Chains A and B, each alone.
Chain A
Amino acid sequence: AQSVTQPDARVTVSEGASLQLRCKYSYFGTPYLFWYVQYPRQGLQLLLKYYPGDPVVQGVNGFEAEFSKSNSSFHLRKASVHWSDWAVYFCAVSTKNTNTGKLTFGDGTVLTVKP
């Protein structure tokens, strides 16, 4: 069964500092991986997605992520954090099985940005 682990429940960074949010996945085969962001009282918005190919994926608002098969990881990075990045970040894995497509989410990481 597929699963996702986000080992850090909370991360605090200063505005302007770099950021890495960790994600480890468990999946038999080649996964499709996603990072979503959730702002307070809103739905999820897609930051970026990985389909088999280039391991470094560029997303919106300066975010990128790197897929590593050997480490079973898909960590999210940003070079310079802005206060508006304060939100909850979810890593998710999906299957290429066209009969389904459910997303399996990690527990989320709450990002707090200090001024």
Chain B
Amino acid sequence: GPKVLQIPSHQIIDMGQMVTLNCDPVSNHLYFYWYKQILGQQMEFLVNFYNGKVMEKSKLFKDQFSVERPDGSYFTLKIQPTALEDSAVYFCASSLLGGGAEQFFGPGTRLTVL
């Protein structure tokens, strides 16, 4: 079936550094999402992105976070600067439509902030 890819699979950085997480969504999808998973269980919505704009973001999407998808390339999540509490697994998802359409998830990027 359709696959979402995420690069890298694991990233270790020092607190205060910048990190960019990359997502290669399903090729014809139009809606893109980031979710954050802590402790291997709780999965929480961060942001969704459509037509070059953030459509909705949660309280977890702090001012240090930003997303973009320049020229149809990777959909990226940038954190600058990072904090210890940003350590988590970040999942990218994409869907063809918004509003309740099936989302396809990538395998996740495990971010460790030291």
**Distance of B62 from chain A, by nearest CB (Å):** 17
Contact residue range for chain B?
20 to 34
B11-63 at interface with A (beta carbon < 8 Å):
31, 33, 35, 40-45, 48, 50, 55-56, 58
> Nearest Cβ distance between residue A47 and chain B, in whole angstroms?
11
Residues of A within 8 A of B42 (CB): 105, 107-108
Minimum Cβ distance to chain A for residue B94 (Å): 11
Residue of A nearest to B95 (CB): A101
CB proximity of B22 to chain A, nearest CB, Å: 15
A95 on interface, CB distance cutoff 8 Å: yes
Chain B residues in contact with chain A, CB under 8 A?
A: 4, 31, 33, 35, 40-45, 48, 50, 55-56, 58, 91, 93, 95, 97-108
Could you list 10 examples of A-B contacts with CB < 8 Å?
A43-B4, A43-B107, A51-B100, A88-B40, A99-B50, A101-B97, A101-B98, A103-B103, A105-B42, A105-B43
